[in-house]
Every structure is written in C-alpha cells, then in structure tokens.
Amino acid sequence: MSRLNLTHIRKMKQEQNKIAMLTAYDASFAHLLEQAGVDVILVGDSLGMVVQGQESTLPVTVDEIIYHTRNVVRGSQSVFVIADMPFMSYSNHDQAITNAARLMAEGGAQMVKLEGGAVIADTVKQLTERGIPVCAHLGLLPQSVHRLGGYRVQGKDDDAAQRLIDDAKALQNAGADMVVLECIPAALAKKITQVLTIPVIGIGAGTDCDGQVLVLYDMLGLTIGKRPRFSHDFLADAGAIPAAINKYVQEVKSGSFPTIEQQF
Ligand code: KIV
C-alpha cells in the first residue's frame, strides 16, 4: 500500500473533499487512526504536554520528535505523516535545514511543520527549495505562549486579521504546501482558506477550512484539566476508541464538526 502524498492532499482541496487530520505519537494509535480513515497524522510537539506531562511544548527536542515520528511511520502504511519542528529548532537557516532533514531522513516524515508568519518565510523558502515540504502554523502559536501571555484567540481586530492574511500569503509564496490555523475567528479562517490555493487545516478556526486537526488526547477526553472549547470528546459519544475516531472522521468529512459552539 502506498502513502498518501502531496498530490493527493492538494487534490482534496481542489475537489472540496475535507481533510481529516489528528495528532498521534505511537504505532498503535497510528494504526487505529489509519483504519478509521484519518488522512494525515501530525506528530505534534503537543506530545510534550499530553505524553510527557510538561507545562508547555517548549521542552520537546528534535530527537524526541524523531523517535515518535518513527513509531507513527512504523505503525501506518497509507496516511500522510507530518512532524513538528520543536521550539528554537529552526531559528536560523542552517539549523532549520539540518533539523528538518533529520525529521524526514531519520523519522520518516513527509512534511515538517513550523510556527510563525512572514518572519519565517525565508526559512520556509530555504527548506522548500531543498525539497522539504512545509506546513506553516499561524494564529495561536503554542511555542510563543509566553510572548502571547496565554492560549488566546488570535486575529480578533482588523489589524491583526489583516496581518494573518498577509502572513498566510507570504508563506504560500515562500513555498509552503499547507497551513494550520489555530484559534482564530471562523470568518477570518474562511477568508484565508478562500485566498490560498494550498490546503488550510483548522483547529479552533471554524468549519470552512479545507480540513480539521485536533490533539488526539483532547478528542478522546483523556486530557488532564480543561479541554479546549474548540475540541470535543468523541469517545464519550461513541463508547470505543475506533468508533470515536471514525465519528471524528465522518463529522470532519461532512462538515458537521466543528459546530457553532466549537468556534470563535
Ligand atoms: O503540536 C500539535 O499538536 C499541534 C496542533 C495543535 C496543530 O501543533
């Protein structure tokens, strides 16, 4: 069985087939997600919080992402696999190229994800020109939580919204092949999704994105403490893990997740 690739993912946007994405960090869940119809697995640095019990994603290392990406790749055959670049692992071009290459060559990732707007456009260009596919992450940037002063909705006023639109265009022009929008108003996410030709995946960004992503432990109700408002406990509805993941996939594909209550 061959893996989904960027050509398939691009076609899904063109044909308006919603992309179902979830995080995973190990082989067993990767297998389950694939069986349930998930298209894309993100080996997110959220693993720092949900697997390691850290207070933020900041302590996660490149070696740890490589380890978890390898496990996900071993446990799956057909999903597209994206690996997160950890905090400060792409602060200059040489470091970004070296670390992204490791995530792909040693981890087996098909794409890497970086947080930031126009400020990282040049880094994105350096990576994509060397054949490394990039997913850009805009809006709420968990690696910048201390600067943002907490996990808050971004892009609420006109200036901030325009900056996000400009950032998204700059990243697409730099060669990014996908964008994740986290915690921004649904109307703004809709506009960015319409303006960009590359797939836009939302998390707390409304129903009009080209696809959705959630942290696996949030959507199974396993997260310690308060679950984010934009997430939903699919396990409570479905009663079993495979059925819960399948329900998520069906609701993303039909556009019934997220609901109005789960967006801003
Ligand atoms: O690390 C992660 O899981 C992520 C998602 C929240 C998109 O970046």
64 is catalytic: no
Residue spans per domain, the chain:
6-262
Ligand 1 atom 1 nearest Cα: 44
Ligand 1 contacts CB of residue 203 (under 6 A) = yes
Superfamily of segment(s) 6-262 = Phosphoenolpyruvate-binding domains (3.20.20.60)
Q: Taking the complete model, does pTM exceed 0.95, yes or no?
A: yes
Q: Which atom of ligand 1 lies closest to the CA of 201?
A: 7
- Per-residue pLDDT 10s for the chain (264 aa) are 799 999 999 999 999 999 999 999 999 999 999 999 999 999 999 999 999 999 999 999 999 999 999 999 999 999 999 999 999 999 999 999 999 999 999 999 999 999 999 999 999 999 999 999 999 999 999 999 999 999 999 999 999 999 999 999 999 999 999 999 999 999 999 999 999 999 999 999 999 999 999 999 999 999 888 889 999 999 999 999 999 999 999 999 999 999 999 999
Going by their DSSP bridges, the two strands 178-182 and 134-139 should be labelled as parallel
Cα separation, 161 vs 223, whole angstroms: 30
Distance of CA 134 to the CA centre of its chain: 11
Ligand 1 contacts CB of residue 46 (under 6 A) = yes
Cα separation, 264 vs 261, whole angstroms: 8
Ligand 1 atom 3 nearest Cα: 44
